[in-house]
Amino acid sequence: ETGVTQSPTHLIKTRGQQVTLRCSSQSGHNTVSWYQQALGQGPQFIFQYYREEENGRGNFPPRFSGLQFPNYSSELNVNALELDDSALYLCASSLVRGGRGYTFGSGTRLTVV
């Protein structure tokens, strides 16, 4: 049984650019959630996808968008990058919708310069 894998592990982008982060969910998990973890802070909920539809969203602007594919993998897209978007982006998969039973990936460290 494989865990949650995220790619790339590190990324440097310039302010104003766009970025796509990828996540493969744990085998059998049909729900994917994305979190942003700023340095020294706890993770903040961005949104959750269930069966290819956005299932809930945190307090993030529309330039944060996502997709879930039929194999339950997911992408997080961020447009018009700002310096404050620099963070660790965590993907978590689960068997059920909601905030329980998460398995987190190791994250993508995004640096915006």
Partner 1 sequence: QQQVKQSPQSLIVQKGGISIINCAYENTAFDYFPWYQQFPGKGPALLIAIRPDVSEKKEGRFTISFNKSAKQFSLHIMDSQPGDSATYFCAASLAGSYQLTFGKGTKLSVIP
Residue 61 contacts partner 1 per CB under 8 A:
no
Please count the CA atoms within 13 angstroms of the CA of 37 that sit on its side-chain side.
Answer: 16
Residue 92 contacts partner 1 per CB under 8 A:
yes
Among 20, 22, 45, 67, binds partner 1 (CB under 8 A): 45
Bridge partners (DSSP) listed for residue 48: 33, 56
Per the CB < 8 A criterion, the answer to whether 105 and 92 are in contact is yes
Among 26, 72, 81, 107, binds partner 1 (CB under 8 A): 107
Q: What does the binding site for partner 1 look like in residue numbers (CB under 8 A)?
A: 4, 33, 40-45, 47-48, 55-58, 90, 92, 97-107
